Amino acid sequence: QARLANAARIVQLQTELHRKKQEADKLACTDYLTQLRNRRAMWQNLGMDFERMSREQRPLSALVIDIDFFKKINDAHGHQTGDYVLQAVADCLTNSVRSGDYVGRWGGEEFLAVLPGADIIQSAEVAERCRHHLESLRIKVDSGEVIRLSASFGVAAIDGAGREDCNALIEQADQALYWAKDAGRNRVKIYVPGVGPRRNMR
């Protein structure tokens, strides 16, 4: 009975250690504010999906999303309101993408959405739906003022046997985001090779 009791305690301790490790792993991959995947987790998932889509000979798309004039919101209403805006945007994007797609916080006011199996047309349609839903958001602050949001979207896709790597996909989506900002913000731009100068509009 003593040996059984000791064995039961060991099993209980191992179970508790496993649970704590799972919690720690989740915390390490989760953005504390939005509860989305953080940048580290997005890179990991993107890499796995790149390999999977390559094996299955299916496309893979990415959306880089930047909230327009987010600094003005922070400056005018404070960081607490800014945090609430980020949470609202995270929820809106998560509810606007397709089943099987996923969204993460890429950094600051930027988000990344990964769309396994989506070609450039499908991903542009998803981006436009997200943009429309964000534009429809109304956030009321303590002063009674209502904040209206918009965001700029850069869209890129990789497909075919000669596909580039994950870094190239993100760079292309980022380039398309620059074009969206350069064109006036609150719009979707897709990456087209060899089009337009590279400009940093952040």
Any idea which residues carry the catalytic annotation? 109
Determine contact, residues 36/94, Cβ cutoff 8 Å. yes
Q: Read out DSSP for 112-150?
A: EEEEET--HHHHHHHHHHHHHHHHH-EEE-TTS-EEE--
Nearest of 142, 28, 138 to residue 80 by alpha carbon: 142
* Chain-centre distance for alpha carbon 176: 16
Do β-strands 146-148 and 138-140 pair in parallel, antiparallel, or remain unpaired? antiparallel
Rounded to whole angstroms, how far apart are CA atoms 144 and 142? 5
Cα torsion 202, 75, 135, 174 to 10°: value is 20
